[in-house]
Amino acid sequence: MRLPRFNYLGPDTLEDTLDLLAFHRDDAKILAGGTDLLVRMKKGLLKPNVLISLKALKDLSYIHEEDGYIKIGARTPLADITASDLIQKKACALFQACEKIGAITMQHYRGTIGGNILQDNRCHHYNQSDFHRSGRQPCHKDGGKICYARDEADRCNSTCQSDGATALMALGAEITLARKGGERTVDLANFYTTDGIMPFAMESHELLKEIIIPVKGAQSVYKRLAYRSAIDYPIVCAGVLLKPSKSQKNKIEDVRIVVGAMSRSPLFLVQESSSLKGKSLTDVDAFKKAADSSMNSASTFAVHNVGATLEYRCEMVSQMVFQALKEAAQKAIDVKG
């Protein structure tokens, strides 16, 4: 498969990159690792006139801890994250998520964490070759007015299958978006539109610059289900952050449950999360109840568009959340001894 034609620009500094983005706007796409973008371009899903490569922006590749926050440059390769002791110790869910993205020896050296968060939503009706799609009416994401995943849907129901985003949302991460003449920081949980066509609440001249993870003294776990681990995107995944109470022994102070690959964005389940506050770390029944409730909440958003049957995916939400909660609680108990 050939790539469509485009102009290649390789700016040397962040300022130049933002200038170019401000000039080209929708005409341009950012090329970091290319493991998602180039596949889409080969399939004719995207035809940008300009690719702006981040190859020279080595400054955007770093991991360090500062004032109680872990800061990660958006261009940091996944391999650097899985090799980082800091991430493994203090943001374990992100470590576990990055370890499971694609094939270790392949995507990890090219693929970046920023690219993983900003990978476009997927749907098995849409992510097909030009030839496949040419045989039928275009869907919402393809510029038409039909949804093949859900009958009579008035909008696109593509699914966000990013491992990194699910884990980061569970960790309560924020992201910094830079543009010419300024930047803004947004909570990852508020970064998503409910539109499958353009799932991210960012402008075309903005560039994801940094990921900021608060270090809360909490345990985090990421669980993922996929058919073939090295090739496939997750069909269900869950990230959990669990903070044990300092004053009360074996009690939970705070929990964040995030379910991924079930909707247009990762789902932060507020109700299920708060239901576990004040519960015991060994209260398996409460975990089971929260997990079942997560399944019900997530099921209302899901459509049958990422491979496995919808029923199976929904049931597995409960399993993923339950396992993640149990493992996080066990880790909290082990740490306290």
Partner 1 sequence: MEKIQITLNINDKPCDVMVSPNDTLLEVLRDELDLTGSKDACSEGICGSCTIHMDGKPVRSCLTLAMEAVGTKIKTVEGLANGDELSDLQQSFIDHGAVQCGFCTPGMLMSADALLKENPSPDDKTIRKALAGNICRCTGYAKIVDAVAHTGNPQDNCPDCLTSSKPYKIQGE
Binding site for partner 1 (CB under 8 A): 1-8, 10, 31, 34-35, 38-39, 42-43, 51, 53, 55, 79, 102-107, 109-110, 229-231
Find all residues with CB under 8 Å of 100, minimum gap 6, and list them: 163, 222, 224, 226, 229, 234
Least distance in Å: CB of 49 to partner 1?
A: 11
How far is 253 from 218, CA to CA, in rounded Å? 10
Q: Which is nearer to partner 1, 110 or 251 (CB)?
A: 110
Q: DSSP string of 246-274?
A: SSSTTBEEEEEEEEESSSSS-EE-HHHHH
Q: Which is nearer to partner 1, 128 or 275 (CB)?
A: 128
Least distance in Å: CB of 31 to partner 1?
A: 7
Residue 99 in contact with residue 240, Cβ under 8 Å?
no
How far is 262 from 18, CA to CA, in rounded Å? 33
How far is 70 from 90, CA to CA, in rounded Å? 9
Q: Which is nearer to partner 1, 103 or 198 (CB)?
A: 103
Assign 203 to helix, strand or coil: coil
Q: DSSP string of 94-126?
A: HHHHHHTSS-TTTHHHH-BHHHHHTPPPB-TTT
Assign 297 to helix, strand or coil: helix
Least distance in Å: CB of 296 to partner 1?
A: 34
Q: Which is nearer to partner 1, 10 or 214 (CB)?
A: 10
Q: Which is nearer to partner 1, 56 or 335 (CB)?
A: 56
How far is 266 from 2, CA to CA, in rounded Å? 33
Residue 35 in contact with residue 107, Cβ under 8 Å?
yes
Of 238, 213, 243, nearest in space to 335 by CA: 243
Least distance in Å: CB of 9 to partner 1?
A: 9
Q: Which is nearer to partner 1, 19 or 99 (CB)?
A: 99
Q: Which is nearer to partner 1, 48 or 244 (CB)?
A: 48
DSSP 64: E
Least distance in Å: CB of 105 to partner 1?
A: 5
Least distance in Å: CB of 21 to partner 1?
A: 18
Least distance in Å: CB of 118 to partner 1?
A: 16
Q: Which is nearer to partner 1, 74 or 317 (CB)?
A: 74
Least distance in Å: CB of 129 to partner 1?
A: 10
Cα 166 off chain centre by: 5
Strand-pairing partners, residue 221, are 240
